[in-house]
């Protein structure tokens, strides 16, 4: 199956700093990648849809100036949490779409962010 990697897997940072999370599709090209946030014992909450070469589409309630998304190539999307605060602590998961017809998404292993 298709493989998606995420780096780092875990990060601890001080309040006010910025954190960058990378999402890579290792064995396929992904025109579209997605960023999700997951709280404990809850389902995935879509934050934004990232399309290669264009601006990301953010879901309602997600601050685009705080969660910067860049999709510079067909295999890499990055999420930068700017000026992180403790309430940003969460599990962030990316996924990459294989195919262009809404067929399926393959998820990365997730990044656990803890802001102190």
Tell me: does residue 70 bind other proteins (CB under 8 A): no
Tell me: does residue 49 bind other proteins (CB under 8 A): yes
Q: Exactly one of 52, 74, 80, 91 binds other proteins (CB under 8 A); which one?
A: 91
x-or-dash pattern for other proteins, window 3-32, by CB under 8 A? -x-x-------------------------x
Distance, in Å, from the CA atom of 25 to the CA atom of 3, rounded to the nearest integer, reads 6
Distance, in Å, from the CA atom of 35 to the CA atom of 32, rounded to the nearest integer, reads 10
Record the tokens describing residue 5, joined without a space. Answer: 């990697």
C-alpha distances out from residue 31 to 24, 50, 53, Å = 12, 8, 9
Distance, in Å, from the CA atom of 71 to the CA atom of 94, rounded to the nearest integer, reads 12
CB of 45 to other proteins, least distance (A): 9
Q: Which residues bind other proteins (CB under 8 A)?
A: 1, 4, 6, 32, 34, 41-44, 46, 49, 91, 93, 95, 97, 101-110, 112
């Amino acid at each position: 199956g298709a493989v998606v990697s995420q780096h780092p897997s875990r990060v601890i940072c001080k309040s006010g700093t910025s954190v960058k999370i990378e999402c890579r599709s290792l064995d396929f090209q992904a025109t579209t990648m997605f960023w999700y946030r997951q709280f404990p014992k809850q389902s995935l909450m879509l934050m934004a849809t990232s399309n290669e070469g264009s601006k990301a589409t953010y879901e309602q309630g997600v601050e685009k100036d705080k969660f910067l998304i860049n999709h510079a190539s067909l295999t890499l999307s990055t999420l930068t949490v700017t000026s992180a605060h403790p309430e940003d602590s969460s599990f962030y998961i990316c996924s990459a779409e294989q195919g262009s017809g809404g067929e399926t998404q393959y998820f990365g292993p997730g990044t656990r962010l803890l802001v102190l």
